[in-house]
Structure formats: structure tokens, C-alpha cells
A and B are shown apart, each in its own frame.
Chain A
């Protein structure tokens, strides 16, 4: 096993058995994780390749290139691995969370605005899993993911990165 080189993009191995770099997630595990955690069907990722750059940061790219590549960016960040509980990114749930069927918490207008502004809030009604959830609300007739929340002990903590936090209107 070799060590992870955080300066370049390496494509994830297809399966854990083909792993050559210590601790690196495999494509299979990433696809399974989105399916198990959020019910995002694996076909969603059919044309997507997954890459690691930095420690545990996973990027999704809608094409393929020979690995490794030394560039400044490749697709979008979707997931943080190399930690006990993998954490989806805001951009990841916005890009792929549309198809989520599980662990999506639907927020009312006031809750959605508080969440987007980065506030934590008590939400007692959730009786699903604890951990990372997709927070969504309804806009223009359909559900739309807002971002990632961490649900623990009856509280939904907003994990919207600072640069994305906004004070928004409470919709009627």
C-alpha cells in the first residue's frame, strides 16, 4: 500500500479489493453509501467518476481521464471520507440529492430560512436516523435540497458553509 498524495487527483479504485492507497474509499463504497444513506439510485452515478484530492475529499466528475491528474479542479466536491461518519458536501447534496428518498428532512418556511442562515434548531418531529441529513424545503411546487444538516438529540445543526449562508425570505 502506498500513501495518499494530497496534491493531485487520483481516481478511486473500483472496489475495496483493488485499493492501492491506504485508507482510500472505493467507487463501490461511495455509490453504495449514497444509496444506503439517501436512497440515491446507483444509476445516478453511471457516467460519473470519483476522485480523491486532499485527505479524504471526494470529487465527482462527469467524464473520465487517466489517473492521476494534476489540475486545480475536477468536477465538484461531493463527500468527505477518511472519518468515521462520511459527510456529504453542500454541493454534493444539491447536485445528487434531488433523487434522495431517505434521510431527507422537509423543513417548513421558517425552519428553511433559519437553516439557510446557518442556525441550529430544535426539531422534535424527526424520528429517522441521527447523523447527516439532507435538509430540503418546497419551492415552486417541488422539493429542493438546501444543504446538509447534522441531526443529534432532537437538534438539527445547519452545516451550510459560511460562504453560502444567507438571510432569506420566509415563504408564505
Chain B
């Protein structure tokens, strides 16, 4: 069975969806603003004669019709990182501030981690974790190449991750943070979980052949555990972004629905910068919370990208104060 058949009833234009899934994906790079501005990258492309096209929904993403960016000067200088357009969504959705503490639960090989560091302006503390040591070396290589210096790399199962032996809380005094903020550790987290990856079929058509419901079921347990941990480690008012590159509602809405039912996190609105479809509230015999419509599904034919799912949650509820100031909590540290 081709798993894409399952989603035909979810998309607006079945033919366009199937056609897009069969086309190879254009090669895309993101400007690493830790190193260069988009203007300087454009000037360097012009000097070197590299053809590029600006992605219409983001001026820091360029499509390179002539193929690999591995051979251009801007790439070698770490001004660019090769990553799919949709892979820029989680960091944009979290939108961390400089000085924040952010946890990237499943970080390797680090495209989103390095994008987060860029948005944090290389300040604060960013923890990039992955349970696969081999993949972590790719993360470290990317971070070095792009000059990401606010990153701590850890090798744990995200479901049991703790910062106990890192002493991240010792930063409280330094950063002048409020006591309320210091009780839990992170201002934000990204859970870019392992998934069945159907959305990457334009890059690896294999994923469709290897797909099985058994595999999906095995992943769901991990996905729920990772998202739960991300929520637990984030302070009230902080945000958690959950993302996958699959269309499977079992791995998307169902996982987020489970999290909002079992924790105090709620879905929050996020205006996606490209064309998306809302998260669904019904699938086979399941129904999901209405707020799941605030999540975004990206189908390949909408923007000529890979497939993606992204949901933004706020810990302590959607109305919780996102600034992390202590005012609403009057507890005094002993």
C-alpha cells in the first residue's frame, strides 16, 4: 500500500498533491545570519555567478536550481546551511529571543538547532540533544561550521532528559532572572521527533515503501514521551513546538491531542508564513480537540516543498504570560 493514498481525502487537490510528491525537491539554503546578511549573500552569489531564486515567503531562504551549494564561497564561509524550506518552520514558530534557554529535544543533525541559535543571536543557552551518538557528530560539525557558540550538546533519551548534572539553573543569578522563571528550566523547547517521514518522499522515495502501520505505532509512544518531557521542562508561559515530516494524523494531531489532555499545555495560534492547511479534528474513529485546528499541515503541492506538520503549544495554558516575569507567581524562594 502507498501510504499517500490515506491522505487523499485530506487534501484540496488530490492530483496536485500526488504530482508534487513525485517531483524531486529543489535544493534550498538558509542564510546563517550569525555570519552574513541576506544582502551580502546575494552580493556574493552575484560575484561568483551562482544562480539562485529567493523563496517568496522568507528572504533568508534561497532555492538553488543548479544543485548543490557545497561548492560556493558563501557556503564554505558558513553563511549558508542546506536545509529544506519547511525545516525552517519550527524555529520560526518558537521564535526564541536572545538570552533565552532553549531545549532542542531531538536535534541531530542540527538544521533546526542552528536556526534556533541564529534567532537567539548566539546568546543564552541552547541545548541540542539526541539519543543517537553517530548523528550527534553531524550536529557538532554543523554547529562548528556555522559558528554556533551557545550550544551544549547532550546524548540522552529525550523522554528522561534532565538538566540536573548541567547546572543550567546556576545561570539564574547571572541572567537576572526572576525566581518564578528559575523553577523550571526552559523558556522554550522544540520536539522535532522521529517519525515515519512520508513528507520527505520527494527526497527519499524509499520512505513510502518502508512505511507500515506497525512502525507508526512504535513511533507514537516515543513522540508522546518526548513531547511530554518538553512540556515538563518548560516554564509556565513558555512555548513548545512539536513538529514532524509526516502526514500521519496518528503521529501529529493524535500526539498533540494526548499532550493537551494530559498536561496544562494548550495550543496557541501561530501565523505560518506560507500556505498551510489547518490541523484536523477527526481521523478514522478518533476525534481531536478543536484547538488542533491551530496546528499547520504543509502539503507538497501548496508551496512546492516537502511535507510537514507543526504545532505550537503554551505551557500553563494559552493565556499564560509569555514573558516569564514573576508577577503572577508570588512564591518566594527559600
Contacts and interface: CB of A to CB of B under 8 A. Distances in A.
Contacts, number: 109
Contact of A73 (B76, B152, B165): B152
A168 interface: yes
Contact of B149 (A62, A140, A168): A62
A60 interface: yes
Q: For the side of the interface on A, what is the size category?
A: 35 or more
A65 B152 contact: yes
A66 to B, nearest CB: 4
Interface in A88-147: 91, 94-95, 116, 139-142, 144, 146
A171 B49 CA distance: 9
Interface string B160-202: 0000011110110010000000000000000000000000000
A144 B165 contact: no
B72 interface: yes
Nearest to B48: A169
A61 interface: yes
Interface string A34-69: 000000000000011000000000001111111001
27 contacts: A62-B122, A63-B123, A63-B150, A64-B171, A65-B125, A65-B166, A65-B168, A66-B170, A69-B166, A72-B153, A73-B128, A73-B139, A73-B143, A74-B153, A76-B143, A76-B144, A77-B144, A91-B147, A139-B47, A139-B74, A139-B77, A164-B145, A168-B73, A169-B71, A169-B72, A169-B73, A171-B48
Contact of A166 (B43, B47, B76, B128): B76
A172 B49 CA distance: 10
Interface of A: 47-48, 60-66, 69-77, 91, 94-95, 116, 139-142, 144, 146, 163-164, 166-169, 171-172
Nearest to A75: B149
A140 B71 contact: no
Contacts of A65: 125, 152, 166-168, 170-171
Interface residues of B, number: 46
A71 B170 CA distance: 17
Interface in B59-77: 70-74, 76-77
Contacts of A91: 144-145, 147
Nearest to A112: B73
Which 8 pairs from chain A and chain B are nearest by CB? A73-B153, A140-B43, A66-B167, A72-B153, A140-B44, A95-B147, A62-B150, A75-B149
Contacts of B44: 139-140
